[in-house]
Amino acid sequence: MSDASEPLVRFESVQKSYDGEILVVKDFNLDVAKGEFVTMLGPSGSGKTTCLMMLAGFEPATHGEIYLEGVPINNVPPHKRGIGMVFQNYALFPHMTVAENLAFPLEVRGMGKSEISEKVNRALDMVRLGGFGDRRPAQLSGGQQQRVAVSRALVFEPSLVLMDEPLGALDKNLREEMQYEIKHIHENLQVTLVYVTHDQSEALTMSDRIAVFDDGIVQQLASPSDLYEKPDNAFVAGFIGENNRLYGEVKEVTGDYCQVELEGGGGMVKALNVNTGGVGSRTTLSLRPERSTIGVAKEQSTNSLEAKVEELIYLGDHIRSRVSLSGNNEFIVKVPNSHGHVHLKEGEITQIGWEADDCRALDA
Amino acid sequence: MANDTTADGVVLAADGLPLKASLTRAMRKSRIRALLLVTPLFVFVLFSFLIPIFDMSMRSVDNWHVGTLMPETTKALENWDGKALPEEPVFAALMKDLKAGAISREIGKVGTRLNYEKSGLRSMITSSARKSKKVKEGPYKPIVLKMHKRWKELETWTVIKRNTSKFTIGYYLNAVDMKYDNKTNDIVMQPEDRQIYSTLFLRTFAISLAITLICVVLAYPISYLLATLPTRYSNLLMIFVLLPFWTSLLVRTTAWIAMLQSQGVLNDLFVFFGFVDDANRLQLIHNLTGTIIAMTHILLPFMVLPLYSVMKTIPPSYMRAALSLGANPVTAFVRVYMPQTLAGIGAGSILVFILSIGYYITPALVGGTDGTLISNQIAYHMQTSLNWGLAGALGVLLLFSVLALYMIYNKIVGIDNMRLG
């Protein structure tokens, strides 16, 4: 979708501080192409919402410039930016009906009555709330309020829509349903969406690209699959999905690979050299639980370590096995509940093996 | 479960007794507990509030004086047609009552009561009672007529006859500037120069309304600031709002006298800066201006607190949402923020208005003549003129006008929408 030569939104070395002492956003650079769905993901306090608020115009950037369609907008007040926004608690005006809420952005733009009612009806139909125009927001369920909030942010046809943890207040089932709904709306309307969440599965489900925030900087900006399979650093590896980590020292680097001596006395392992400080530096090895196999013979796998089974949890489709390996007793292996899978017992000693390509040597 | 229900549909509990009875028994303990918790306050309110109010409102219609203290005259006047002076039997009865009243020293009360209706009747009654001790035997009519010239007037007898009934609306007529015409016994308006209460009622409402409006205008911005400021600053500011609350009402009112009087702080400053010259110092106190300034200051917290508590519950995201939807800040404020604060404005307004309608001490101290309110007049009749019937009537009228306003407010805004905190 990033066919447009000029990005719709551009953050250029943006910094933000509230108190003049601590930088909440340290150096933020991001280009969002037209029609793209970009998610800012990170733990609370990582600066992601602040970036969204700066884009919406509710917080001034302390340093740096934000461009919208090539125009710097630092000095444009929020109501002139023409950006649709969905708030965490929907911010539906409680004293107006649903239809009045939707009509509000159109009225302040001086649109005619008939045009307004036509657009409002179309917007309500889009989110399957056709007969709900006369209700007050308080008379709607959480999911319905959510859909009204989304359609209100879209009804005046902004080119950019921001969403600030819009699904945070919904229960799990509804949240998943709404994820698909928002994704479909995005696809159908070809609108550019910048989405903020702390929920990684939400980000992985919906986004074209995800910016992972921590400590005021973007740790990695990549597609969902790249984030999961090729994390750049230990934080991203730990934040996105489940992750086994082993610590060690880099002993030798050959091409894309390196040899690492594990700290827990597990011996040498071969890993993909992604983000280490070179020979002699400490490193974190990151390994997805589903990429290691249990009970393989030493010679069948590049890396193979002896492990003791600590705990087995039956989860239906797979058996979650916690083993201790090289001094790490939180090492997780997922054993698929397939025909003829290995049967383990707690306390048993077994072999865990993995390929060098699945094991990424990252920063310590 | 069919076996748990009797033929006529009464649901039974496990022990076979009706479920409703079991429930009542189970709830009795908690109900008694609730009752006990409420009892002390209820007794206190009963004796300090409900009974006095009932008593005062009864006094506004009570008319026991003539009927009780002049029982013979009352009986004798029953068949009097009111067209000419009564005959001898009435005078004989009157003489009996006057003598009894002079001995019991109670007759003065009749005089006071009759004097409300027609001035001069007190001295007529008291002097006649004094003279009655010497009267030995009748015929009494010529003796009485000689005692005081008022006895010869038909009006006097009309007033007495009218007040032999146990209840009267006379105080209420008085409270709305009306009276009985003593010649014709019709209800007429008081003469222009004696119409004081309706003016006072209107002035009380007007001043209360003015104070309420000023309070809204002054309290709205400060409440907004309080509600939007970070807690550590808003707490400090809140102390400034509440500080007057913790200071004696009397101290604050006298402080305003020191501030506003013609040799006071404010006038000194005006003179110093040359806004007014020394000879024409502004009259800011002992008039309407003084009442409004001092009462606005005293009642302001009652407006700030409900407004603040309502504004505190409005998340900033509403304003942000309105802005992001393209409304300029003024439109966003007027169309999104203000409507949500209506409950607070309503609560604060009704509180301030009701409080100021019954305000007494501040107008008494700083109000002068044109800044006093109806409550000052009630206090005057309670303490000085001792016309408690009229005080009661004025009080009841005030009470009912407040209740009426409250009901109108409830109709328009809805009391459920009101939030005090």
C-alpha distance from residue A199 to each of A25, A92, A205 (Å): 20, 23, 10
CATH assignment of the domain containing A102: 3.40.50.300
Q: Are residues A181 and A311 in the same domain?
A: no
Which residue type is seen at B389? G
Interface residue A87 vs chain B (CB under 8 A): yes
d(CA A241, CA A324): 20
Query: In this predicted structure, what is the pLDDT of residue B325?
Result: 93
Per-residue pLDDT of A146-157, as tens digits, reads 899 999 999 999
B67 neighbors B166 (Cβ within 8 angstroms): yes
Report whether the peptide linkage leading into residue B142 is cis, meaning its omega lies within 30 degrees of zero: no
- Which of B166, B188, B215 finishes a domain? B166
d(CA B19, CA B25): 10
Residue of B315, B325, B340 lying closest to A104 (CB–CB): B325
Q: Would you call B324 and A109 a contact, using CB atoms and an 8 Å cutoff? A: no
B317 neighbors A89 (Cβ within 8 angstroms): yes
Q: Are residues B102 and B45 in the same domain?
A: no
Residue at B175 is within a domain: no
Query: Which of A200, A212, A222, A219 is CA-nearest to residue A362?
Result: A219
Supply the Cα-derived Rg of chain A in whole angstroms. Answer: 25
CATH assignment of the domain containing A262: 2.40.50.140
Q: Would you call B324 and A83 a contact, using CB atoms and an 8 Å cutoff? A: yes
Q: Are residues A97 and A222 in the same domain?
A: yes
Residue at B345 is within a domain: yes
pLDDT < 50 stretches in chain A = 1-4
Instruction: State the smallest CA–CA distance between residue B43 and chain A in angstroms.
Output: 42
Residue at A311 is within a domain: yes
Residue of A87, A88, A108 lying closest to B326 (CB–CB): A108
Contacts of residue B27, Cβ cutoff 8 Å, sequence gap at least 6: none
Upper half-sphere CA count for residue B391 (Cβ side, 13 Å): 18
d(CA B129, CA B100): 9
Q: Are residues A248 and A224 in the same domain?
A: no
- Which of A234, A262, A288 finishes a domain? A234
Percent of chain A that is helix, strand, coil (3-state, to 5): 30, 35, 35
B257 neighbors B263 (Cβ within 8 angstroms): no
Interface residue B24 vs chain A (CB under 8 A): no
Residue at A1 is within a domain: no
Instruction: State the smallest CA–CA distance between residue A50 and chain B in angstroms.
Output: 14
Q: Are residues B217 and B310 in the same domain?
A: yes
Query: Which of A27, A68, A54, A33 is CA-nearest to residue A208?
Result: A33
Query: In this predicted structure, what is the pLDDT of residue A47?
Result: 86
Residue at A115 is within a domain: yes
Output the six-digit token pair for B390.
Answer: 């009229």
- Which of A210, A234, A258 finishes a domain? A234
String of DSSP letters for A239-278: HSS--EEEEEEEEEEETTEEEEEETTS--EEEEEESS--S
> B417 to chain A: nearest residue by CA?
A95
Q: What part of A 89-118 touches B (C-beta under 8 Å)?
A: 89, 91, 93-95, 104-105, 108-109
Residues of A in contact with B333 (CB under 8 A): none
Residue at A2 is within a domain: no
Instruction: State the smallest CA–CA distance between residue A78 and chain B in angstroms.
Output: 6
Q: Are residues A210 and A271 in the same domain?
A: no
Beta strand pairing call for A318-325 and A328-336: antiparallel
Strand-pairing partners, residue A38, are A194, A209
3-state secondary structure of A354: strand
d(CA B311, CA B208): 24
Q: Are residues A260 and A191 in the same domain?
A: no
Query: Which of A55, A140, A185 is CA-nearest to residue B324?
Result: A55
Please classify residue B402 by burial: count the beta carbons closer than 10 Å to its beta carbon, then call 0-12 exposed, 13-18 middle and 19+ buried.
Answer: middle
Q: Would you call A152 and B335 a contact, using CB atoms and an 8 Å cutoff? A: no
Q: Are residues B233 and B374 in the same domain?
A: yes
Which residue type is seen at A86? V
Interface residue B325 vs chain A (CB under 8 A): yes
Q: Are residues B92 and B133 in the same domain?
A: yes
d(CA A158, CA A81): 9
Q: Are residues B95 and B39 in the same domain?
A: no
String of DSSP letters for B345-396: HHHHHHHHHHHHHT--HHHHHH-TTTT--HHHHHHHHHHTS--HHHHHHHHH
A285 neighbors A303 (Cβ within 8 angstroms): no
Instruction: State the smallest CA–CA distance between residue B255 and chain A in angstroms.
Output: 42
Residue at A262 is within a domain: yes
The domain of B16 spans 2-51
> B342 to chain A: nearest residue by CA?
A95
d(CA B168, CA B176): 14
Which residue type is seen at A269? V
Residue of A56, A88, A156 lying closest to B326 (CB–CB): A156
Interface residue A364 vs chain B (CB under 8 A): no
- Which of A234, A265, A292 finishes a domain? A234
**How many CB atoms sit inside 10 A of residue B396's CB?**
20
3-state secondary structure of A329: strand
Q: Are residues A250 and A227 in the same domain?
A: no
Q: Are residues B106 and B233 in the same domain?
A: no
- Which of B143, B166, B189 finishes a domain? B166
Contacts of residue A134, Cβ cutoff 8 Å, sequence gap at least 6: A97, A98, A99
Residues of A in contact with B321 (CB under 8 A): 85, 87, 91, 93
Residue at B173 is within a domain: no
A352: DSSP letter: E
Query: In this predicted structure, what is the pLDDT of residue B3?
Result: 53
Residue at A356 is within a domain: yes
Q: Would you call B320 and A108 a contact, using CB atoms and an 8 Å cutoff? A: no
Q: Are residues A141 and A87 in the same domain?
A: yes
* H-helix or E-strand spanning residue A357: none
Residue for token pair 């884009």: A55
String of DSSP letters for B274-341: TSS-GGG----SSSHHHHHHHHHHHHHHHHHHHHHHHHHTS-THHHHHHHHTT--HHHHIIIIIHHHH
Q: Are residues A56 and A153 in the same domain?
A: yes
Residues of A in contact with B325 (CB under 8 A): 79, 84, 104-105, 108, 152-153, 156
Question: Which pTM value belongs to this model?
Answer: 0.77
Q: Are residues A30 and A166 in the same domain?
A: yes
Contacts of residue B187, Cβ cutoff 8 Å, sequence gap at least 6: B173, B178, B179, B180, B181
pLDDT < 50 stretches in chain B = 1-2
Residue at B408 is within a domain: yes
> B343 to chain A: nearest residue by CA?
A95
d(CA A312, CA A11): 47
Query: Which of B310, B147, B112, B303 is CA-nearest to residue B228?
Result: B310
Residue at B184 is within a domain: no
d(CA B303, CA B356): 12
Residue at B380 is within a domain: yes
Residue at B314 is within a domain: yes
Which residue type is seen at B277? D
Q: Are residues B294 and B399 in the same domain?
A: yes
Residues of B in contact with A83 (CB under 8 A): 324
Q: Are residues A47 and A121 in the same domain?
A: yes
Distance of alpha carbon B176 from the chain centroid = 14
A331 neighbors A323 (Cβ within 8 angstroms): yes
Residue at B192 is within a domain: no
The domain of A254 spans 242-363
Q: Are residues B142 and B220 in the same domain?
A: no
B46: DSSP letter: I
Total domains, chain B: 3
Q: Are residues B84 and B41 in the same domain?
A: no
Q: Are residues B293 and B319 in the same domain?
A: yes
Residue at A54 is within a domain: yes
Query: In this predicted structure, what is the pLDDT of residue A3?
Result: 44
Residue at A18 is within a domain: yes
Percent of chain B that is helix, strand, coil (3-state, to 5): 70, 5, 25
Per-residue pLDDT of B292-317, as tens digits, reads 999 999 999 999 999 999 999 898 89
Q: Are residues B8 and B107 in the same domain?
A: no
* H-helix or E-strand spanning residue B263: none
Q: Are residues B304 and B411 in the same domain?
A: yes
Q: Are residues A255 and A197 in the same domain?
A: no
d(CA B318, CA B320): 5
CATH assignment of the domain containing B369: 1.10.3720.10
d(CA B394, CA A308): 93
Beta strand pairing call for A359-363 and A268-273: parallel
Residue of B323, B325, B340 lying closest to A95 (CB–CB): B340
Q: Are residues A169 and A313 in the same domain?
A: no
Strand-pairing partners, residue A209, are A38
Instruction: State the smallest CA–CA distance between residue A345 and chain B in angstroms.
Output: 51
Distance of alpha carbon A119 from the chain centroid = 32
d(CA B400, CA B395): 9
Total domains, chain A: 2
Beta-sheet strand order (sheet of A9-17) = A23-32, A9-17, A63-68, A71-72
